[in-house]
Chains A and B, each alone.
Chain A
Amino acid sequence: MKSFTLAVATAAALYAGVNQAHAWSLSEAAAPYKGTSITVVGLDRPSYKIAQKLTPEFEKETGIKVTWNIFPYEDTLKEETLNFISNSQQFDAILSDVVWPVNFADPDWVLPLSHFTGDAKLADPNLDLKDFFPVWLASFTVNNKLYGLPFDSYAGLLYYNKSMLKAAGFDGPPTTWDELAHTYLPKLTDKSKRVYGYALQSARGETQTADAFARFLWPWGGKFIDYSNKTVAVNSPDAVDGITFREGLLKYMPDGIVSDDHSQVVEMFAQKQVAMITEWSAFYPTLSSSNLGSDLGIAPEPKGPKGAYSAFGGFAYMVSSQVNKKHQNAAYLFIQWLTSREMAKPLIEGGAVVARQSADEDPSVQAKFPNLAPMVKTWETSTVPDWRPQLECYPRFSDIVSDWGSRIELGQVGVKPGLDSMEKDLTAYMKSSNCWGKINNPEAAMLLYK
C-alpha cells in the first residue's frame, strides 16, 4: 500500500513536473527579488555546514544574496525572540526547533506557509509536501496551519562499538533497555581500566531535558503532560520507574557524566572509552570520520517496557512576518529550495539529515549512510511528535525539568521526591504563566498528514 501511494505520488509529481516545466522555474520565480539580500539563522552542526556550502548554487540561480547567521544552539531562541520583540528585522528565514513553533506562531511572528504555497508564482509545483515524513509536518503545525519546512531532522539512535561488544561476547547490539542494563553493561564496564559500557549526555539545559530525561520517560509509559486532564504527569508511577532505571545506569557510566554534553560523550565514544551511546542521527558523519572506522555500529534506540519511543528532535525553517514582502518571498524561495526533493540527496551526501522520504528511503543512499534506515524506522513507528511538549512557556518549563532532572541524577534528591518537586514547580509555573491555554498538540495534527 505504502509503496503504491509513493509510486502514485512520484508519478503525480513527475507529471506535474513535466506539465508545468515551462510554467515554473526557480530563476523565473526569483526574478523580482534579484539583488535582495536575506539573512538565514543556522547552527554549527553538519546539516548547516553543507547547506552553507551549497548556498552559492541558489545565489547563482536566483541573484538573491544569502547571509548565514550561525548561533550556538543555546543562544538561538534568545536571539530570535529578541529580534521579534524589538522588531529589529535582522532575520528573514527563522530556524525553529521542534519545541518552538507555538512560540513563534502564536504571536504571529512567522507566517503560515499557505501564504506562499497558495501563490502560483512562488510555489514550486514539485514541492511535494507529502514526501516529508508526517511526524515532521505535524510537528510544525499549529492550529492546523503548517508553519515550517523541516530541515536538519533527527532521531535518537544507539551507536555502539562493534569490537568492544564482540570482545565482551555480544554479536549484536541490545534491543531493549533491560537487556542493555542487565546483560551488556556489567560485561562492558571495567572502571579500573576506565572503560565504560554506556554514557548518557546529561549536561544542564536542553540536553538534560531531552537526552537524559525524556529518553527515560516515554519508553516506561511516562509523559510530560496529560492533555485531557490538564495536569503535569512527570511524577506518575511510570515516570518514577523510568527515572529509577536511569539512576541504575549511573554505576556503569564515567563519573563526570552529569556535567557532560554531547561533545564529551561523543569524544569518549570515539576514544573507545565508552562502548555505547544514544545520540542523534545527525552525529553519523562525525563518528564515521573518527578513528572508530569499521567498529562503528548503528541500531535503533532500545525499547522500554512500554514500547519503543526514541528521542525525537530537529528543526524547520519559517518565514518572518516582520520583514517586508520582498524579503519574505525571497526567504520562502530559499527555504523551499533548501528543503526540496532535489536538494535532499546532495545534502545527505554532504553530511546533513533531512526528513524527505524519497531520499531517506532510497536504497542506494541508505547503503552509504547506515544511520538512515534506523532513523526512518523511528520516525515511522517508534516516536511521538510531542516527545517534548510544545508549550509557549516551554523554555522555562524545560529549565525546571532540567533543574530537577540534574538534581536527581546527582543524587541530591531521591527519584520520587525529586519528580514530585518537579511536578509541583511545573504545575505552579503552568498556572502562573497561563500556559495551559497556549499548548500545541502536534499528535492531533498527525491526522492531517497520514
Chain B
Amino acid sequence: MTDTAQDRAPPMAAAPPSWKEKLEPWFFILPSVVLLLAIGLYPVIYTFIASLQAWVMGMGPPSFSGLDNYIHAFGSSDFGHSVGRTLILILVTLPIELILGMMIALALDSTNFAILRRLLQICLVIPIAITPSVVGLLTQLMFNEQLGIINQLLHLVGIPAIDWLGRPTAAFITVMIVQIWEWTPFVALVLSAALSTVPKDIDEAAMLETERWWPRFRDVQLPFMWPGITAALVFQTAFTIKEFDMIYSIEKGGPGTSTETSVMQIERMAFRGFDVGLASAESILMLVLSIVLARIYIRVFYREMD
C-alpha cells in the first residue's frame, strides 16, 4: 500500500475542507485517544516524577533527588547489561525467525500435500497462543539437565547431556531457542497470508518465464511479503522488549543474571528491591529506547504515513 495513499484521494478531500470536515476524522479517533490518554499517559508522567525522587518503598516518604537515579542507572552495569541482552535477543532471534518463517511460508505455498498444509496452517497459531509463563514452565521441565526430555531424546541419538539451564551462555541460548520456537510460526503465518495474496496470473506468468526459483522469489513473492515482514519485525521487537513472563518462569533471569532482560531488571529493582525511584528512571530510559526503535522502524518501513 506504499503508493496507494497518494493514488487514492480520500473522498472528503476534494473540496477545501470546512471546519466540520476538519473535525470529522476526530469524531472517529477521539474516543480511543481519550481512553488511551486517561489510561496510558498519566502513569508515564507519574513514573517520570518518581524517577526524580529518592524513594525506597517502606523506607520513608519520597524526596526530590534530581538526576541521581539516572546517574545511578547509567553507572549500573546490571542495567546496562540487561539492555544489551535485550538488544542481542532481538538482533539474533529476529533474523532467524524471519528466515525460518519465510522458508516455512514458501514451502507451505508450494507443497502438494494439501492435508499437511491445512494442518500446519491451523497449528502455526498455537505457540503464541500458549501462555508465555506456561512456555517458560515447559522449558524448565523439558530442558532440565537431569530430568528433562530434551536431554533424554539427545541421549537416544548418542549426544551427551547438555546443561541447558545451568550455565550462563547455554541458558541464554535456551531462551533464544524457546523464543524462536514461539515466534517463527507466527512469522510464517503472517508471511503465508501475504503469499496467498500473490495473484495467480502474475505467478504463473513468472513461472513460464523462468524455471529458477530466485527470480520468481525476488520479483513476485518478496514484494508481496514485504509488508508482512515489516509487521513481523515491529510486532516481535515490541514483544521482546516487553518479554517478562516466559523468561521469568524459566529461572527468574538466572543463572546469575545471565538471562535477565531489561524489563526483568526493572521489575527486580521495583518489586524485589522496592527502589521505586531507580526503577522509574530505568523505565523512562527504556521508554525512550523503544520510542527510538519505533521511530526507526516507521521511518524505514512506513513511509506512506507522511
Contacts and interface: CB of A to CB of B under 8 A. Distances in A.
A406 B254 contact: yes
B280 to A, nearest CB: 14
Interface in A259-290: 259-260, 264, 267-268, 271, 273
Nearest to A107: B58
B273 interface: yes
A371 interface: no
B144 interface: yes
Kindly state the interface size class of chain B when it binds its partner. Answer: 20 to 34
Contacts of A396: 56, 272-275
B56 A203 contact: no
Interface in B144-190: 144-147, 161, 163-168, 171
A255 B254 contact: no
A84, A410, A434 — most chain B CB neighbours (10 Å) = A410
Nearest to A435: B59
A205 B161 CA distance: 26
Contact of A410 (B164, B168, B272, B274): B168
Given A410-B168, A412-B168, A399 B147 contact: no
B56 A267 contact: no
A10 to B, nearest CB: 41
Contact of B163 (A204, A255, A399): A255
Given A258-B254, A259-B165, A412-B256, A268 B146 contact: yes
A255 B57 contact: no
B58 A103 contact: yes
B146 A254 contact: yes
A103 B274 CA distance: 11
B273 A85 contact: no
B254 A204 contact: yes
B59 A434 contact: yes
A393 interface: yes
Given A84-B58, A393-B56, A433-B56, A268 B255 contact: no
Contacts of B171: 259
A165 B148 CA distance: 26
Mostly, the B contact residues are loop
Contacts of A203: 251-252, 254
Contact of B256 (A81, A107, A204, A264): A204
Contacts of B274: 81, 395-396
B255 A259 contact: yes
Interface in A44-82: 74, 78, 81
Nearest to B162: A255
Nearest to A274: B146
A386 interface: no
Given A107-B58, A204-B251, A396-B274, A259 B166 contact: yes
Contacts of A438: 59
A85 B252 CA distance: 25
A406 B255 CA distance: 7
A272 B86 CA distance: 39
B197 to A, nearest CB: 45
B292 to A, nearest CB: 29
B255 A204 contact: yes
Contacts of A406: 254-257
A230 interface: no
B252, B268, B272, B275 — most chain A CB neighbours (10 Å) = B272
B27 to A, nearest CB: 38
A205 B252 contact: yes
Nearest to A413: B256
A390 to B, nearest CB: 14
Given A395-B272, A399-B273, A258 B256 contact: yes
Contacts, number: 99
Interface string A323-341: 0000000000000000000
A257 interface: yes
B251 A410 contact: no
Contacts of B251: 203-204, 259
Given A203-B251, A267-B147, A258 B57 contact: no
A407 interface: yes
Interface string A194-215: 1000000001110000000000
B253 interface: yes
Contacts of B256: 204, 258, 403, 406-407, 410, 412
Nearest to A103: B58
A273 B148 CA distance: 14
Contacts of B56: 393, 396, 433
Contact of B145 (A254, A267, A395, A407): A254
A399 B58 contact: no
B62 to A, nearest CB: 11
A78 B275 contact: no
Contact of B268 (A84, A258, A267, A399): A399
A258 B164 CA distance: 12
Nearest to A271: B147
Contacts of B275: 396
A256 interface: yes
A398 to B, nearest CB: 8
A424 to B, nearest CB: 13
Interface in A343-363: none
A430 B220 CA distance: 64
Given A392-B59, A396-B273, A399-B268, A410 B146 contact: no
A433 B277 CA distance: 12
Contacts of A403: 78, 256-257
A78 B59 contact: no
A255 B145 contact: yes
Contacts of A433: 56, 59
Contact of B146 (A85, A273, A395, A407): A273
Interface in B17-60: 56-59
Interface of B: 56-59, 78, 144-147, 161, 163-168, 171, 251-258, 268, 271-275
10 contacts: A78-B272, A81-B57, A84-B58, A109-B58, A205-B272, A255-B161, A256-B144, A258-B256, A259-B254, A393-B59
Interface of A: 74, 78, 81, 84-85, 103, 106-107, 109, 194, 203-205, 254-260, 264, 267-268, 271, 273, 392-393, 395-396, 399, 403, 406-407, 409-410, 412, 433-434, 438
Given A271-B147, A396-B272, 12 more contacts: A74-B252, A74-B272, A85-B57, A204-B253, A255-B166, A256-B144, A256-B166, A258-B255, A264-B147, A396-B274, A406-B257, A410-B167
6 tightest A-B CB contacts, nearest first: A256-B166, A396-B273, A256-B145, A204-B254, A255-B163, A406-B256
